[in-house]
Amino acid sequence: MHSPFQFATKLLFAPATSTGNAGGTPVIVKIARVGISVGLAVMLISVSVVTGFQEAIKDKVSGFGAHITITNYDNNESLEPIPIPSNPAYIKDLKQIPEITHIQTVATKAGIIRVKDNIDGVVVKGIGADYDWTFFKNSLVAGTIFPASDTAKTQNFLISQDIANRLGLTVGDALQVFFIQNNDRLVRKFKVTGIYKTGFSDYDRVYVLADIAHIKRLNNWETNQAGMIEISIKDFRDVDAVAEKVNQTIGFDQKATTIAEQRPWIFDWLNLLDTNAIIIIFLMIVVSGITMLSAMLTLILEKTSEIGLLKTMGMNNSKLSRIFMFGGFKIAAPGIVWGNIIGLGLLAFQYFSHIMKLDEASYYVSFVPVTLSLEQILFINLISITYVVLSISLPLFIISSVSPLKAIKYK
């Protein structure tokens, strides 16, 4: 005795004509499988590329700054911040928040670099001994990072490849930086110890790093003062919740803002990518669903006489629907398997080879970044299986309307 799956295979995928020649069923089955596999592969690739691109940009933006920044409550967007204590009592409480991974104090000040007859406006970011160098270590293209101090001034200077190219600087070169403080022009001498390149032109064009002691001295701050406190966290998705906890901890004279609040234009742009991914997924669902729906309708119409014959032999609509349901899964299953193989295979190839390049000046990354979690893979497959089930189920209502006598005459 045949199982329902075996019976469905013999009934639905046998030659469609009495002469033994294959009818139209094999062609529509192949089209349906291709539609499902292509749709699933495109969805996997779309979500992976969008997620990878968002994470790459967020990492770069957060690398230059931090996920959360604490400043004086009366601070504005100026590069000359109102100072805050560099080691306030609430730091101990912040370190107890499990999502926080690092806390550091920094300060910024606008300046002008002069090298011979060339000048260039920059933002000098002063850093101390607590600075996390991970981001710039990964972005270093020449020289080395430098050991920073909260009090001792050094001539160490880290510049970007962009600035180095504009001013003709290399590692070891000396330069002067001019600052304006209380209408006075102040000058400091530095030496290039390292050159970095992140590809994020908005920052590479202007940011340089030096000891925070220079900023404190230029601004006439106390040694226990800083421009801001930067906080890094484990997962960017928790940034708003952690910022709320920080605001509840630090008091009313200071405020904590997220990197998304500081750079809204960047994150609004990244959020638009989610909309693009949703549109692509919707289109793939529609296309794949239509091909699967067409395949099922073709199967039912081609097997109308067989449906009528089985009904005259006593088979009810429920059992007939189950047979066609098994047939639908037999069509869809290879499409889903191949969709995963193609999609994940292409993603893995791009991940290891970086073969697909991008214009770094326009997209902030030099190649198409990809990332895909197990949760995303399972979610996309769940979406695919759901629309396949719906595409299989909808045409089954036609079976109940088939009249046995008319179906047999139709044959």
Is 312 within the bounds of a domain?
yes
As a whole number, the mean pLDDT across the chain is 85
**Mapping DSSP to helix (H, G, I), strand (E, B) and coil, where does residue 95 land?**
coil
Is 257 within the bounds of a domain?
no
Q: In terms of domains, do 314 and 355 share one?
A: yes
Is 262 within the bounds of a domain?
no
Q: In terms of domains, do 394 and 317 share one?
A: yes
Residues 6+ apart with CB under 8 A from 369: 49, 52, 53, 55, 56
Tens of pLDDT, residue by residue over 61-89, are 888 889 999 999 876 666 677 889 988 88
Q: In terms of domains, do 195 and 288 share one?
A: no
Q: Which residues pair with 175 in a beta bridge?
A: 190
Taking residues 173-193, report their average pLDDT: 90
Of 216, 251, 286, which residue is a domain's last? 251
Q: Which DSSP symbol is given to 220?
A: T
Nearest-angstrom CA–CA distance, 139 and 116 = 27
Q: In terms of domains, do 55 and 80 share one?
A: no
**Mapping DSSP to helix (H, G, I), strand (E, B) and coil, where does residue 39 land?**
helix
Q: In terms of domains, do 41 and 86 share one?
A: no
Of 221, 251, 281, which residue is a domain's last? 251
Q: Which residues pair with 185 in a beta bridge?
A: 180
Nearest-angstrom CA–CA distance, 327 and 353 = 40
Q: Are strands 156-160 and 140-143 parallel, antiparallel or unpaired?
A: unpaired
Q: In terms of domains, do 234 and 90 share one?
A: yes
Is 66 within the bounds of a domain?
no
Q: What is the pLDDT of residue 19?
A: 40
Q: In terms of domains, do 200 and 158 share one?
A: yes
The total of structural domains in the chain comes to 2
Question: Of the candidates 169, 396, 177, 156, which has an alpha carbon nearest to the alpha carbon of residue 295?
Answer: 396
Q: In terms of domains, do 229 and 336 share one?
A: no
Rounded to whole angstroms, what are the CA distances from 208 to 66, 113, 126, 127, 371? 16, 10, 9, 10, 30
Tens of pLDDT, residue by residue over 134-173, are 999 999 999 999 888 766 778 899 999 999 999 999 999 9
Question: Which residues form the domain of 220?
Answer: 74-251
Picking from 3-12, 46-55, 122-131, 322-331, which range would have the lowest pLDDT averaged per residue?
3-12
Is 114 within the bounds of a domain?
yes
Instruction: For residue 278, give both structure tokens.
Output: 């949703």
* Strand residues in 182-319 grouped as ranges (E): 184-196, 207-211, 225-226, 228-233, 254-258
Please state, for a pLDDT cut of 90, what percent of the chain lies above it.
Answer: 45
Taking residues 200-225, report their average pLDDT: 90
Is 209 within the bounds of a domain?
yes
Q: In terms of domains, do 54 and 95 share one?
A: no
Q: What is the pLDDT of residue 406?
A: 58
Tens of pLDDT, residue by residue over 329-350, are 888 899 999 999 999 999 999 9
Q: What is the pLDDT of residue 314?
A: 72
Tracing tokens 């022009």 back to the chain, one arrives at 185
Q: In terms of domains, do 102 and 233 share one?
A: yes
Of 222, 251, 280, which residue is a domain's last? 251
Q: What is the pLDDT of residue 8?
A: 56
Picking from 151-155, 157-161, 226-230, 249-253, which range would have the lowest pLDDT averaged per residue?
151-155
Is 69 within the bounds of a domain?
no
Nearest-angstrom CA–CA distance, 183 and 162 = 29
Host H or E run for residue 142 = strand 140-143
Q: In terms of domains, do 54 and 107 share one?
A: no
Q: What is the pLDDT of residue 274?
A: 86
Instruction: For residue 205, give both structure tokens.
Output: 């064009």
**Are the C-beta atoms of 173 and 156 separated by less than 8 Å?**
no
Q: Give the residue, 320 or 374, on which the prediction is more confident.
A: 374
Taking residues 225-250, report their average pLDDT: 93
Q: In terms of domains, do 85 and 148 share one?
A: yes
Is 203 within the bounds of a domain?
yes
